[in-house]
Amino acid sequence: MNKNFTIREIDRIIAMAWEDRTTFDAIAFQFGLKEQEVINLMRREMKPSSFRLWRKRVQGRATKHQKLRSFENGRFKCSRQKQITHNKISKR
């Protein structure tokens, strides 16, 4: 991975990767990282125990992959959830 991200961008990528409903496609759209690059970033930036916990949680999760989702469109955000700033996808 030869992309130089700010600490703020790295934090946002990690937050998006932890979110159940945010797909790897969304991360690729916003930051240009493929799934394997996200995994490598997570491995590099997180404590080993946190990385293992994240991998266990994400592995095989259909919601993390656009093609595996059973729904196509819709709002999957609680009306009480705080708006995420600096997110290109939410502004489309």
The first and second tokens of residue 79, run together, are 């009306």
How far apart, in whole angstroms, are the C-alpha atoms of residue 87 and residue 78? Answer: 17
Cβ-based neighbours of 22, under 8 Å, separated by 6 or more? 16, 64
Per-residue pLDDT in tens (0 to 9) along the chain, 92 residues? 557 899 999 999 999 999 888 888 889 999 999 999 999 999 999 999 999 999 988 887 766 665 555 545 554 555 555 565 665 655 54
Report residue 66: phi and psi, to 5°.
Answer: -55, -40
Phi, psi of 65, rounded to the nearest 5 degrees: -125, 115
Of the candidates 54, 61, 9, 51, the residue with the CA atom closest to the CA atom of residue 30 = 9
pLDDT given at position 84 = 59
